[in-house]
A and B are shown apart, each in its own frame.
Chain A
Amino acid sequence: MTLSLVLSLFALALVRGTPILLAALGGVLSERAGIVNIALEGEMTAGAFAAALLSYFTRDPWIGAIGGVAVGAAVGFALGFAATRWRVDQIVAGMGINLICTGGAAFGLIYVFNQAGVTPQVPAINQALWPMVLLGIALAAALQWAIARTPIGLRLRACGENPHAARAAGIDPLAVRLYASTIAGGLAGLGGVFLALGELNLYSDGMIAGRGFIALAAVIFGRWTPLGAAGVALIFGLLEALQFALQGNIAWLPSDFLQALPYIAALLALLGASGRYRPPAAEGKPYP
């Protein structure tokens, strides 16, 4: 393999990995505050669809991008609100949100554009693709620092580990969890924006294709740290890129196996990592 080929492979890995990375950062944020975020998939879907929709009607892709992040954040707020005020089961609520978002986007496609499956082409921000990749990596580093080294990060972690102790120290766990879930939704929404307006210039049904769930796996394999999750997300991106590079080049390797490569890798990682992953102690547990 020549150097240029290797470089283009890594470039592709960064592009494929970034939406997963953004959503995974959201996952880290909400889970460190104590909210299991299985709704990342739905938040990405909502962000991508809203971005394409707004870009289509305003003809301004930046409004679309901001709108996509805002809608993702709104979905995150809904999850956070239900988790903190109604004390719902967070995994069940997250699955409900996923159904609502994917169904809602499909409904919206037909309702607004009168066609199933895909929006028309919309104004995109393809020129911002690489800045967004860099933004993702910078965000990972910034969040790593903020969670580990700042008072706000300490409060966030306290709410995920022991909300009662946090309460005793004068922190409002419900508010922290709500904020964290909202920002998490915004980050996942940005991941959707990246796919819809950064890489492509449309929204199509199923375009998120399980990336929200892969992001969830990245959160766990990254041990709930932003840099760890970002690293795993980029490895998933590399596996996706490899799939493109190897497709048709190795006769004995079926392409369906390559397609399943990221998921098989995740499963093997689970197998090899028994007991080494400890989630935040109060994750998923309603407070008070």
Chain B
Amino acid sequence: MNRESAKALAIGTFGVAAAMSLAMIASHVSPIVGFNAFFYGAFGGKQQIAETLASTTALLFPALGIAIAFRAGLFNIGAEGQLLIGGLLAGWIGTRIDVPPAIAIAAIFLAGAIGGALWGAIAGWLKAARDANEVISTLMLNFIAASLALYLVTGPLRAPDAAGPELSLLPHAYWLPTLLSHTRATIALPIALLAAFALRYVLDSTWFGYRLRAAGEAPEAARRAGISLSRVALWAMAWSGALAGMGGAALVAGELHRFNTQLSPGYGFIAIAVALVGGLEPLTICVAALAFGALESGGLALQAAAAVPKDAIHVIEGLLVFALAARRYLGARGAGAR
């Protein structure tokens, strides 16, 4: 960590603490009581730590995916839709196959990755073939994904045991093993961490990663050097969607144990903040995801214990993103920025 980012971290931490204190005072709660509730909710015991880790996992997958697209100069705002479609395919496969659990879990994650990749690739293809603005296309695809998922689970894929807009429950054997027993912290977290290390290697040390970064940082130079910008756009969006889709699979197999259209309370959007706070570097994003995971679970505890509305946390996350916008993480984004 260099001096610049250490300074940013210190200012960010101080800013978040100050903003949270303000929210508490506005809600007539003493900051001492409030922070106590917050930290207890985030780290106070096995159950609390597990909740934090579960939120961390749910944010880490889409954040890593978003980092791929952003590094390629593509503003993928569509992680929410990619996560949903990935979760849908994962939840569907999980109820259709009859194989040993380890293979089933692998198949569920693969299905999530494929679903997300296909959904991401639509925007990638529109960018590559038709030079369509990816901010608009990924946003529209979010809405379409929500409608499509709702249609499928209430129509053609309707489950007999469904109580809401959801698919059947996965067989118990396919539920992800937990890290801490009787909690929502599952082996999805180490899988996500593994993905982060793999992504770091791919971005920093492979030909694909090099082309991707070149297209994002200096598109004109990359094009002149013979790198196909449209091919990079297609594959970057597909991989970006694949990671978000794995996040959907992790939620399906690890938390809900079935697909539900209400799978994600906006993880795909908060993950944008996580990716930016993490400086679009896979390993730093892991740290950012932990911080945001703690904010999420601590925020819930704060609401329960001290009646500070949880939405205050989203304001704080927004302020963080707004402040971070001033730092020019994204470099020159000629082609990517439209």
Name A residues whose Cβ lies closer than 8 Å to a Cβ of B: 38, 82, 86-93, 95-104, 106-107, 110-111, 116, 210, 213, 216-217, 220, 254, 256-257, 259-260, 263-264, 266-267, 270-271, 273-275, 277, 279, 283-284
Mask: chain B, 310-321; 1 = CB below 8 Å from A; 0 = not: 011111011111
- Least CB distance, A266 to chain B, in whole angstroms: 5
C-alpha gap A20/B130 in the complex (Å): 26
Q: Which of B131, B141, B321, B322 contacts A275 (CB 8 A)?
A: B131
The answer on a CB contact under 8 Å between A107 and B324 is no
Q: B147: CB under 8 A from chain A?
A: yes
Q: A93-B322, A96-B319 are in contact. List 8 more A-B contacts (CB 8 A).
A: A82-B326, A89-B329, A90-B325, A99-B273, A99-B315, A106-B311, A111-B26, A256-B150
Q: B185: CB under 8 A from chain A?
A: no
The answer on a CB contact under 8 Å between B130 and A111 is no
The answer on a CB contact under 8 Å between A103 and B311 is yes
The answer on a CB contact under 8 Å between A284 and B129 is no
Q: Top 5 A-B pairs ranked by shortest CB distance?
A: A99-B318, A103-B314, A96-B322, A96-B321, A100-B318
The answer on a CB contact under 8 Å between B132 and A274 is yes
Mask: chain B, 104-138; 1 = CB below 8 Å from A; 0 = not: 00000000000000000000001001111101110
Q: Which of B144, B311, B322 contacts A263 (CB 8 A)?
A: B144
Q: Which of B136, B269, B321, B337 contacts A270 (CB 8 A)?
A: B136
Residues of A within 8 A of B27 (CB): 111
Q: Which of A38, A93, A107, A110 contacts B135 (CB 8 A)?
A: A38
The answer on a CB contact under 8 Å between B136 and A259 is no
Q: B151: CB under 8 A from chain A?
A: yes
Residues of B within 8 A of A107 (CB): 23, 309, 311-312, 314-315
| A103 and B143 contact, Cβ closer than 8 Å, known pairs A96-B319, A275-B131 | no
Residues of B within 8 A of A256 (CB): 147-148, 150-151, 154-155
C-alpha gap A17/B143 in the complex (Å): 18
Residues of A within 8 A of B329 (CB): 89
User: Smallest CB-CB separation from A205: which chain B residue?
Assistant: B311
The answer on a CB contact under 8 Å between A217 and B140 is yes
- Least CB distance, B162 to chain A, in whole angstroms: 16
Name B residues whose Cβ lies closer than 8 Å to a Cβ of A: 23, 26-27, 75, 77, 126, 129-133, 135-137, 139-141, 143-144, 146-148, 150-151, 154-155, 269, 272-273, 276, 309, 311-315, 317-326, 328-330, 337-338
Q: Which of B151, B318, B323 contacts A103 (CB 8 A)?
A: B318
Residues of A within 8 A of B136 (CB): 213, 216-217, 220, 266, 270
C-alpha gap A263/B337 in the complex (Å): 21
The answer on a CB contact under 8 Å between A97 and B338 is no
C-alpha gap A220/B126 in the complex (Å): 15
Residues of A within 8 A of B272 (CB): 95
The answer on a CB contact under 8 Å between A213 and B148 is no
The answer on a CB contact under 8 Å between B337 and A91 is yes
The answer on a CB contact under 8 Å between B151 and A257 is yes
The answer on a CB contact under 8 Å between A274 and B147 is no
| A89 and B137 contact, Cβ closer than 8 Å, known pairs A103-B318, A107-B309, A284-B337 | no
| A100 and B131 contact, Cβ closer than 8 Å, known pairs A260-B143, A271-B126 | no
C-alpha gap A256/B158 in the complex (Å): 14
User: Smallest CB-CB separation from B139: which chain A residue?
Assistant: A213
C-alpha gap A97/B325 in the complex (Å): 11
The answer on a CB contact under 8 Å between B322 and A274 is no
9 pairs, A vs B, C-beta closer than 8 Å: A87-B328, A93-B321, A95-B272, A99-B318, A100-B314, A103-B313, A111-B27, A213-B139, A260-B148
The answer on a CB contact under 8 Å between B319 and A100 is yes
Residues of B within 8 A of A254 (CB): 151, 155
The answer on a CB contact under 8 Å between B133 and A97 is no
| A88 and B318 contact, Cβ closer than 8 Å, known pairs A270-B133, A270-B136 | no
User: Smallest CB-CB separation from A268: which chain B residue?
Assistant: B140
C-alpha gap A38/B137 in the complex (Å): 13
- Least CB distance, A213 to chain B, in whole angstroms: 5
The answer on a CB contact under 8 Å between B151 and A97 is no
User: Smallest CB-CB separation from A116: which chain B residue?
Assistant: B309
Residues of A within 8 A of B314 (CB): 99-100, 102-103, 106-107
- Least CB distance, A33 to chain B, in whole angstroms: 16
C-alpha gap A89/B329 in the complex (Å): 9
User: Smallest CB-CB separation from B75: which chain A residue?
Assistant: A91
User: Smallest CB-CB separation from A279: which chain B residue?
Assistant: B338
The answer on a CB contact under 8 Å between B144 and A264 is yes
User: Smallest CB-CB separation from B154: which chain A residue?
Assistant: A256
Residues of B within 8 A of A277 (CB): 133
Residues of A within 8 A of B148 (CB): 256, 260
C-alpha gap A97/B147 in the complex (Å): 26
| A98 and B318 contact, Cβ closer than 8 Å, known pairs A92-B324, A107-B309, A111-B26 | yes
User: Smallest CB-CB separation from B132: which chain A residue?
Assistant: A270
The answer on a CB contact under 8 Å between A274 and B131 is yes
| A271 and B132 contact, Cβ closer than 8 Å, known pairs A103-B313, A107-B312 | yes
C-alpha gap A103/B273 in the complex (Å): 14
Residues of B within 8 A of A213 (CB): 136, 139
- Least CB distance, A122 to chain B, in whole angstroms: 20
Residues of B within 8 A of A263 (CB): 140-141, 143-144, 147
- Least CB distance, A207 to chain B, in whole angstroms: 15
